[in-house]
A = this chain, B = another copy of it.
Amino acid sequence: MHEFLIKYINSFATKPLNGSEIKLISNTFVPKKLRKRQYFLQEGEVCKYMAFIVKGAMRQYSVDDKGVEHIVHLSIENWWAGDRESYVMLTPSIYNIDTWEDTEMLLITRADMNELNQMPAITQMARKLDENHSIALQKRLNASISMSAEKRYTEFANCYPEFLQRFPQHMIASYLGITKETLSRIRTQAQKK
């Protein structure tokens, strides 16, 4: 199971991991399985682990005063799940994270991650991840400030076609910050063209 993670880390590294490093990593990341619809994190808890997803699909969302869910993050294989803010600051999370498919993941605590940061490959990966994460968030923020719902959807569909297959439409809608009805109408309109 860890081989996916090793492969993933190597894809960021200038030098591939050696045997002892692989061993250490494999011993540090703890496997965990969750059935569909189970919580990985609930609002109010501190997020103790970051999860590398080996197989499956998850979502992260907040719930507003009216009980409406707002999805801030969707993730599948080779992505990470977890609330960075809570994980880094050790504060209670305002988000829920749960699985949408049966999911296998590899967990790591903040402390263990700090240990592993001895390894150059890990440091490189972590930096690169942070960078990519920031860039992606920046793009989404710009989209959400400056683009119409329709444009946000088409851009999303281009960028992440696989997500359209894996998640139901109302989750995509929530992720885009619109209602399922609006997304439905956008789609039928787009087809006419």
Contacts and interface: CB of A to CB of B under 8 A. Distances in A.
A182 to B, nearest CB: 13
Interface string A95-123: 00000000000000000000000000000
Interface in A133-191: 133-135, 137-142, 144-147, 177
B72 A135 contact: no
Interface in A32-89: 62, 64, 68, 70, 72, 84-85, 88-89
A6 interface: no
A151 to B, nearest CB: 10
A4 to B, nearest CB: 24
Given A134-B133, A137-B134, A145 B72 contact: yes
Given A145-B70, A145-B72, A146-B70, A135 B64 contact: no
Copies, count:
2
Given A72-B141, A85-B139, A138-B72, A62 B146 contact: yes
Most buried by B among A89, A139, A144, A145: A145
Dominant SS among interface residues on chain A: helix
The 10 closest A-B pairs by CB, nearest first: A70-B146, A130-B130, A137-B137, A145-B177, A85-B135, A144-B144, A70-B145, A72-B142, A133-B134, A64-B146
Contact of A144 (B131, B133, B134, B141): B141
A171 to B, nearest CB: 13
A126 interface: yes
A158 B85 CA distance: 19
A7 interface: no
